[in-house]
Amino acid sequence: MNGVPQIVGAFEHPTRLAPDKTVAQLHAEAARGALADAGLTKDDVDGYFCSGDAPGGALSMANYLNLRLRHCDTLDVGGSSAVAQVAQACAAIQMGKCNVALITQAGRPKSLGVTTGTKKIVKDSLAPDVIWELPYAVPNVANYALVAARHFYEFGTTSEQLAWVRVAASHHAQHNPNAVLRKLVTVDDVLQSPLISDPLHRLDCCLITDGGGAIVVARNEIAVSLRRPAIRLRGAGLALKHQEAGAIDLTYSAAAQSGREAFSQAGIDAADIRYASIYDSFTITVIIQLEDLGFCPKGKGGAFVADGNLIANVGRLAVNTDGGGLCNNHPANRGGITKVIEAVRQLRQEAVPAVQVKNCELACVQATGGHMATRHASATLILERT
Amino acid sequence: MEQREVRMGDFGSEGAVFWQAARAGRFILPKCIDCGQVHWYPRAVCPFCLSSEIGWQESRGLGHVYASTFFRRTDAPYVIAYVELDEGPRMLTTIVTGDVASISIGQRVQIHFAADDTVNGAYPVFRPIGAS
């Protein structure tokens, strides 16, 4: 492992509502936090990784942050971007393209009043699919509701089972002082919240928050000198899935492919994992990804998440011990960076004690980006403390 | 997050044949002359073999619901669905019905063209077969 880069810095911006900040400022504050966590300075950064949420892209952000760069990467696969970029950063370092890679993600959709879940927003009107879908005004929640509806039909999954994902998130969020929603909820609370897009209820949906986060990855020789817990990437996968010219199958996600690659590269399987960060844009998103990663057979995700099985120190698999996007934070409408950050906390034994997984040496980080019922990407990481 | 107004001019001519037929109440599906496969949504380049030789075949617009959801969080709630056409492709669409509770996976549906004064003049939606 000596030559393998390490994740040396991770920082989640504490804000969830930032009416008086700019998006660039949130990126910068997140960067400052992660560099301080690593024991590095801005001037150590020679590789910068950002995505569609970075205002003005890499050029404007490098200018704003006054970074002197010899490498950058602007991969945009929606909410999975920051997860994929951890692997890109490790690869770039191993190729000698940079020594210290900074990944930032931030946004302020809460302050902007962006109703991304329930209104159709066209981000790129030149996308070739826009004209074929715009008349139907499919909002995010309806997109994922289609996935849920098919899952219910094929596998007998129920709203009660979906609700357990939210219940577990609330169990974790109650211990997180920065979480937006810290109140414990029950299965009944979820079922009695209003239906937004059948079969998804309001509490099946994630938050919209301002904020952000950052990750710093460093060449091993630099990392060793920082004396941080050694967190390394052991396996990674990235995959895309779409409508396949009319042959779309809603029962699985691109995580089936990215997960297979990540676990194969790591030489382990889902049975070896006891903590997982799983992007929870909606409760159904978690169930589909857990199945695709092999935590349970396809179609059994509903049963797998039920009865508190995702609650730390209660169930088989602790998931999103920060409270996730459902209860804690979902900055920029992209769940990726917070998923990496909580996995790093778990591996460093720095999670809140009530949710810390004992002897957590392996973690799975999983995010989908885009929209599962139309076009999405999936990024999977297997991280290890060595 | 940027919100852009979408104009017809942004899309060029790629769907022109389809939309012209739609305005006349005809549903046609793109079929590659080289590889023979029907695809959705329509493209000028075949998504199976990258041929530019795309023909069109008439469709009766019959199919069944592959997945559906009743989206409620709006002034005028509506049913969004994937319909699997009898020709094979699954297309994202809406189901127009006065009885949303009757819409379930497997329901037979038929195409219908809804008037649209913002994008293309008419666009395909589906109605349950047997409904008025």
Residues in A touching B6 (Cβ below 8 Å)? 122, 125, 130-131, 134
Contact B4 A118 (CB under 8 A): no
- Indicate whether B31 pLDDT > 80: yes
Residue A4 class from Cβ within 10 Å (0-12 exposed, 13-18 middle, 19+ buried)?
Answer: middle
Answer with the one of A223, A254, A282 that is the final residue of a domain: A223
Point out the least confidently predicted range of A114-128, A229-243, A330-344, B5-19: B5-19
Could you tell me if residue A59 is inside a domain?
yes
For residue A219, pLDDT over 60 is answered with yes
Q: Are residues A89 and A169 in the same domain?
A: no
- Same domain, yes or no: A154 and A94: no
A193 and A247 together in one domain: yes
Number of domains in chain A: 2
Selected for mutation to probe chain B from A121, A208, A243, A252 (highest B CB count within 10 Å) is: A243
A139 in B contact zone (CB under 8 Å)? yes
Per the structure block, which two tokens stand in for A231? 């967190």
Q: Are residues A161 and A256 in the same domain?
A: yes
* Three-state SS sequence of A21-59: CCHHHHHHHHHHHHHHHHCCCHHHCCEEECCCCCCCHHH
Average pLDDT rounded to a whole number, residues A126-152: 93
Cα A122 from Cα A383, distance rounded (Å): 35
Domains of chain B: 11-126 (2.40.50.840)
Amino acid B11: pLDDT? 55
Same domain assignment for residues A105 and A144: no
Alpha-carbon distance A76 to A142, whole Å? 23
% chain A with pLDDT above 90: 93
Q: Range of A86's domain?
A: 6-111+211-223
Does residue A123 lie in a domain region?
no
Asked if B47 lies within 8 A of A247 by C-beta distance, the reply is: no
Integer CA distances (angstroms), A321 to A138, A206, A317, B108, in order: 31, 15, 10, 44
Evaluate the omega torsion of the peptide bond into residue A199 and state whether it is cis, within 30 degrees of 0. yes
**Within a domain: residue A124?**
no
B2/A123 Cβ within 8 A: yes
Dist CA A371 CA A382 (whole Å): 23
Q: How far apart are CA A324 and CA A173, in angstroms?
A: 8
**A296 shares a domain with A348:** yes
Instruction: For residue A299, tell me if it sits in a domain.
Output: yes
Q: Give the end of a domain, one of A159, A189, A223.
A: A223
Over 50: is that where the pLDDT of A298 sits? yes
Q: Is the four-CA dihedral A16, A17, A23, A27 of positive or negative sign?
A: negative
What is residue B132's predicted lDDT score, i.e. its pLDDT? 43
Let me know: does A103 contact A30? Beta carbons within 8 Å: no
pTM attached to this predicted model: 0.96
**Quick check: is A118 in a domain?**
no
Q: Is A17 in the same domain as A76? A: yes
* The pLDDT value given to residue B119: 64
Asked if B67 and A373 come within 8 Å (Cβ–Cβ), the reply is yes
Q: What angle do CA A138, A77, A93 make, to 5 degrees?
A: 170
- Mean pLDDT over residues B27-41, rounded? 97
Question: Would you say residue A115 has pLDDT above 80?
Answer: no
Place of tokens 């990481």: A381
CATH number of the structural domain spanning residue A268: 3.40.47.10
pLDDT of residue B117: 67
Considering the domain architecture, whether residues A181 and A319 belong to the same structural domain is answered as: yes
Closest partner CB to A246 (pick from B15, B89, B94): B89
A218, A184: one domain: no
Express each pLDDT in B85-118 by its tens digit. 999 999 999 999 999 888 999 999 999 998 876 6
Are A188 and A257 contained in the same domain?
Answer: yes
What is the Cα–Cα distance from A82 to A339, expressed in whole angstroms? 9
A361 occurs within a structural domain = yes
User: DSSP characters for B32-95?
Assistant: ETTT--B-SS--SS-TTT--S-EEEEEE--EEEEEEEEEE-SSSS-EEEEEEEETTS-EEEEEE
| ipTM here | 0.95
Q: Is residue A270 within 8 Å of residue A295, measured between CB atoms?
A: yes
Residues belonging to chain A: 386
Are A217 and A281 in the same domain?
no
The residue-averaged pLDDT of A224-245 equals: 97
Query: Does residue A21 belong to any structural domain of this protein?
Result: yes
Calpha distance B118→B8 (Å, rounded): 8
**Degrees (nearest 5) of the Cα angle B120, B98, B59?**
45
Residue A22: per-residue pLDDT: 97
Please tell me if residue A331 touches chain B, with a CB cutoff of 8 Å.
no
Q: Does A112 touch chain B (CB under 8 A)?
A: yes
What is the DSSP secondary structure assignment for residue A340, as one 8-state letter? Answer: H
Rounded to the nearest angstrom, the minimum Cα separation between B60 and chain A is 17
- Residue B4 — pLDDT band, cuts 50, 70, 90? very low
Residues A196 and A215 in one domain: no
Which of A223, A256, A281 is the last residue before a domain boundary?
Answer: A223
Nearest-by-CA chain A residue for B93: A136
pLDDT digits (tens, 9 = 90+) for A1-11: 557 999 999 99
Of A107, A125, A149, the CB nearest to B6: A125
> Nearest C-alpha of chain A: how many angstroms from B120?
9
Q: Evaluate if residue A306 carries a pLDDT over 50.
A: yes
Q: Is residue A318 part of a domain?
A: yes
CA–CA distance, A376 with A284 (Å, rounded to integer): 15
